Structure 1
Amino acid sequence: MPSVNVRFPDDLHAAAAAEAEAGHMSLNSAVCEAVRSWVTARAAERREDAILDRIMAEQADVLAMIRDYE
């Protein structure tokens, strides 16, 4: 498993360590969980953006009619 050094501001490190301890997990596990959640959310946003781009392209004529109507 690769290892990564990450520098946190002191207050963020303390807060993350406290939350990890409260959740009965290591700081490493808590950081991995947070990164996994972030990666999952970003991937979902990219998929949603791609769907919206496709819809916008497929419905360009309708969008143009709406703009003209206003």
Structure 2
Amino acid sequence: GSSGSSGSTMTVIKDYYALKENEICVSQGEVVQVLAVNQQNMCLVYQPASDHSPAAEGWVPGSILAPFSGPSSG
């Protein structure tokens, strides 16, 4: 474990269903960690484990992600 986050925390703004073997399914409102971005604007993301699914890693379109600003105050 190193201090400081190595990557961007993004929030999912639209449900996405994996179409290829290296992609993962994400749901609107989930928060993921972006590990890499390729030239097709696909993002390799890490999805933390939740109550109903184990941690996952895979590609999702960058267009369904938005910067995570934390809990909105106001």
TM-score normalised according to structure 1 size: 0.23
TM-score normalised according to structure 2 size: 0.23
Please tell me whether Structure 1 or Structure 2 has the larger radius of gyration of its CA atoms: 1
Q: Which has the higher contact order (CA 8 A, sep 6+)?
A: 2
Identify the structure with the greater strand proportion.
2
Identify the structure with the greater helix proportion.
1
